Chains A and B, each alone.
Chain A
């Protein structure tokens, strides 16, 4: 969108992650997740049908694709929140089949949700503390003797405070989570996910509902995770974010992995543009709909093109995306 504005200092991307030509299912030098033949159907709908997918360790991988492509379902399968009908998948060389979600989390694979799951009646701090696993005070007899857990509790609180400052939520520390806005809950969830210092962080649409003003700091947080040695896998529709921070991009459509590669490369792929991006990002919808004159077009867009495109073209494209989904239903 804003090609004329200088991008913030960009950190180096991780390269050399794959073996051979980048294509769907390509092998990685050091994969942290390996999925093979993973299939999940809901009645007649094939939500996920992944032949082979490897997620590179220590890098930031984006999972993109149209609505209904199976991105969230794949997340659910990988994290034990759902079970596939067939296939095998492993994390860090350990087979994950039949491992329940809470054990997956203890293994260092933490996820966030598209729709936030903060506990509204608890304070922000209590929500954060819940994120920490292996607390001594959780055990019944231990809980009766504060001396056994007080020190650990203080350490947990200190870590939570550090994270809250980092995510600019420190002023909300003692407020109930219910009183936070959608975007703030999103930040809280991400901060909470980091309480256990996970190995792999999976973020489901971290930017949805977060205001653009906060985008930059959130991106910095994600880049920091990589610097700290974590692996990040995220689902996102915000292509600026994908281009800016992802080292590797996996494109899903109709349950399958249809393309993989470095962001710039993937986004130039005509098949990806066709299946997902659409060719209209540079248009001014105000001009397209005839609400404003071409002379007033948004300077960051292509005014001429906006004036010549019919809204029906964009609608037809969206409609085609829906058809692809329906086709998949059968």
Chain B
């Protein structure tokens, strides 16, 4: 049903790894269409984060190809990708701690400073909480985990990306903050940004995503709509946690 559309991101049979001779991705394949929110779940070491890093040119690709809007971007450097409209939010070390929130945002748009004012406005409409207290003049290093995550997301949004790659946006947040993070991702996606999100909180991830990929041993074992995966007994057993409430 989705075949007639052109994919925004197409990962085709990608093999990649960090150390010589050791591949983390062994033929990973992923398609994201315009405006989709894609969730990636899977066991530890399945290559979820590596898949995002492969798209963002942060890991050596040894086989296969990645394209953005039909253009081959395999192995392209991160700064080139940012210019082409790809945003990446790593799981940790995702803000410049010695800079203020505002400076972090400015760094996000350093390739196109003319965008700064307008984009800050957009980012603040998504994260109004950042305006609290000293507002944008606060140093990012003094922020709590939740706020830092907002700044990281905001910075990635500064270049008006068409694709946003998120590595576990809920990691380390309290339950209510996790929910908030998922709501924000949903909001960003509704604003027209194609999102590809890796998550450990598989249930929440599948609840909001359009399509999910289950990654196992560096390749996609299974893909279906978020709802289908949520209702799949095997997925439930393996990834949604079977601990009694």
Chain A residues with a Cβ under 8 A of chain B: 1-3, 5-8, 10, 45, 65-68, 114-115, 175-176, 178-184, 187, 205, 208-216, 219, 237, 239-241, 243-244, 276-278, 280-281, 283-289, 291-292, 296, 298-301, 311, 314-315, 317-319, 321-323, 325-326, 329
Contact = CB atoms under 8 A, between A and B. Distances in A.
17 contacts: A2-B243, A5-B242, A68-B145, A179-B17, A181-B44, A181-B45, A183-B200, A208-B172, A208-B200, A240-B243, A276-B176, A285-B207, A291-B186, A291-B208, A314-B183, A322-B146, A326-B133
Contacts, number: 195
Interface stretch (B78-86, B109-117, B157-165, B233-241): B233-241
A2 B186 contact: no
A180 B45 contact: yes
A194 to B, nearest CB: 19
Contacts of A214: 43-44
A211 B174 contact: no
B202 interface: yes
Closest 10 CB pairs of A and B: A7-B244, A183-B44, A278-B176, A318-B180, A181-B45, A212-B241, A68-B144, A286-B207, A3-B245, A240-B243
Contact of A211 (B43, B177, B187): B43
B231 interface: yes
Interface centre among B44, B168, B182, B208 (most CB of A within 10 A): B44
B5 interface: no
Chain B contact patch, size range: 35 or more
B72 interface: no
A298 B19 contact: no
B180 A216 contact: no
Contacts of A241: 243
A298 B203 contact: yes
B173 A296 contact: no
